[in-house]
Structure 1
């Protein structure tokens, strides 16, 4: 039975796992390990290389599971005292339907670090409303299961987020790509992705900002706002908003309209700064050639600037971060703190 939903203010910071600990692998969005075992098995192998013992659940490799079944797996993972972290296998498109089956009391009884992004923004936000910090990033099939080897920046960030609790300085990725390798290809696992040269962030504003991080995948937050069931009252938001877009590659006008909705709700003005992830501008089935992909990225950044100029012109904006659907990917502490230093072009997060 689901307990009455209640918003929480006090954050319950969970202890980090240690090498040798068990970690739950869940498919609370889509059970893609059933049809794409290669990146999933590679991701499990890499987790074991981190010294962690992955534990699977009935829906982890089940493509068509019900929201109730997936909620039961989450309850089981949080209820098992031997499980010291929970990691998403991958994203999907219907995790929103799982939330109403979750019992907040079960999740709060033994807070554990949760890692995920994309459709897992639903669960990240749900945990945030319950005062449970989590981590935006780090899926088994993508970052851990990357063909060839893990990107060193992703690995460095994931190790720090999993095992440490101190400050971590973000940096522009040392070479990046948004080109997918086909998970169904017999060659998957061997070739290294080809990387583009590193690019710097772009800063708009000069005032330093320190605050709590909230945000995630823009399209999923749009669904959250539409459902209007798992959101805090607007006045309870403040700090630093971080946003990024998915492989569905929403048009710049769509991005602007979503942000406009944020603004009309009074949400966009609540934040002192906005971090914007490097947009994914290429996907299987939508392979934009360069310079078309470069134009897509610049148009999205322009949409963000336009919305902020209308609803929060004093906010600091930083674009081009390797967060979310990026390779490499830096993990952000969801509900944790960040320091933005425009004068020295530095961003520090606390894991």
Structure 2
């Protein structure tokens, strides 16, 4: 049976929004980008950002970061929570969280990458969230906030509307180094996106979502933090994307194959594959090679998914996860993957 999750109530302009660093405290390492992000966050949403003791504390302990998460859920004036960025050790924060606090006062949580840990934990405790959002990546840098990000941010925190997820037409894997003053005014090297690729039967699927960063999902599975019965995802939409670690296509496919062996691929009715990063600050292959690497990952993952579930509707290249512009998507909420019209709709209620 699918897991029942609660959709947290929306905030209203003037409410307080907790801004936390559950993983890496980029806000402390690069404060100018963070401070610009906070100004833009207030302008776009009308919410009042509230920082906590570890928001800017680099190398804070897992227990200290968990204490801030618990405090944010316990405070009735806080009406939403946004992660500054991801990291790589949030898995050690999860054991220190108090599920009774989140059940007593559910609030929208937004984050990406390593925050897959928190999304899975909230989902396991019956609370929906939103996969995406990083003040340090999507609000602070560059000349402005991308339109698709701003619209999905407002929908997730405030309006709860239904939006069509569209292709912004351009993408960057990595922006300007945050230590460079130009990071405050310049985007990274952007290029035109390829059309999304559709596979599987020509049908429309609407269902609750689960997933996130593929590498972190592997950690979650290894730590035993997923329900024993994969049918909790029955009829759902699986979200999968890869990180800036630039995992080779075959390694990504091995993880997805393990999800197939676990029964997860057979349980869902649709799979969305995020546009993968293929370059970083030290490696930027020529454009034809970047296109080849993206296609290589797409083909490898689609092959595995359809091998385990040929009835799944699959769309690859969707701009969520480790890409910019980025759509924030429901996690535990509803998405429609329409393979007939080749369109995607997200419900942010």
Q: Compute the TM-score of the two structures, normalised by the length of structure 2.
A: 0.95
CA separation in 1, counterparts of 2:284 and 2:142? 19
CA separation in 2, counterparts of 1:146 and 1:152? 14
For 1:206-221, what aligned pairs fall within 5 Å after superposition? 206-221=202-217
Give yes or no for contact 1:38–1:188 (8 Å, CA) kept in 2.
no
Question: 3-state DSSP class of the match of 2:33?
Answer: helix
Structure 1 residue 191, shift from structure 2 partner = 1.9
Structure 1 residue 114, shift from structure 2 partner = 0.2
Residues 175/298 of structure 1: CA separation in 2 closer, same or farther (3 Å cut): same
Give yes or no for contact 1:46–1:145 (8 Å, CA) kept in 2.
yes
Match of 2:127 among 123, 132, 154: 132
Q: Please, what is the CA RMSD of the aligned residues?
A: 1.6
Give yes or no for contact 1:9–1:130 (8 Å, CA) kept in 2.
no
Unaligned runs of 5+ in 2: none
Task: Confirm or deny that 1:151 pairs with 2:146.
Answer: yes
For 1:184-199, what aligned pairs fall within 5 Å after superposition? 184-199=179-194
Match of 2:38 among 30, 40, 44: 44
Structure 1 residue 230, shift from structure 2 partner = 4.4
Task: Confirm or deny that 1:95 pairs with 2:98.
Answer: no
1:262-306 Cα offsets, whole Å, 9 max, x none, are: 111112111111000000111112222222111110110011122
Q: Which residue of 2 aligns with 1:31?
A: 25
CA separation in 1, counterparts of 2:163 and 2:302? 27
Q: Which residue of 2 aligns with 1:229?
A: 225
Match of 1:110 among 105, 112, 134: 105
CA separation in 2, counterparts of 1:216 and 1:232? 19
Q: Which residue of 1 aligns with 2:8?
A: 14
Q: How many residues align?
A: 345
Give yes or no for contact 2:175–2:187 (8 Å, CA) kept in 1.
no
Task: Confirm or deny that 1:257 pairs with 2:259.
Answer: no
Give yes or no for contact 2:175–2:183 (8 Å, CA) kept in 1.
no
1:9-63 Cα offsets, whole Å, 9 max, x none, are: 4322211111111100110111121111122111111111121111111111011
Residues 22/276 of structure 1: CA separation in 2 closer, same or farther (3 Å cut): same
CA separation in 2, counterparts of 1:267 and 1:193? 36
Q: Which moved more, 1:214-223 or 1:233-242?
A: 233-242
Q: Which moved more, 1:187-196 or 1:208-217?
A: 187-196
CA separation in 1, counterparts of 2:155 and 2:105? 22
Structure 1 residue 146, shift from structure 2 partner = 2.5
CA separation in 2, counterparts of 1:159 and 1:16? 10
Give yes or no for contact 1:25–1:55 (8 Å, CA) kept in 2.
yes
Unaligned runs of 5+ in 1: 1-7
Q: Which residue of 2 aligns with 1:293?
A: 290
Residues 225/279 of structure 1: CA separation in 2 closer, same or farther (3 Å cut): same
Q: Which residue of 2 aligns with 1:272?
A: 269
Structure 1 residue 349, shift from structure 2 partner = 1.0
Q: Which residue of 2 aligns with 1:162?
A: 157
CA separation in 1, counterparts of 2:147 and 2:188? 13
Q: Which moved more, 1:81-90 or 1:236-245?
A: 236-245
CA separation in 2, counterparts of 1:236 and 1:194? 40
Residues 153/9 of structure 1: CA separation in 2 closer, same or farther (3 Å cut): closer
Q: Which residue of 2 aligns with 1:338?
A: 335
Structure 1 residue 202, shift from structure 2 partner = 1.2
CA separation in 2, counterparts of 1:284 and 1:191? 15
Match of 2:322 among 318, 325, 328: 325
CA separation in 1, counterparts of 2:228 and 2:108? 21
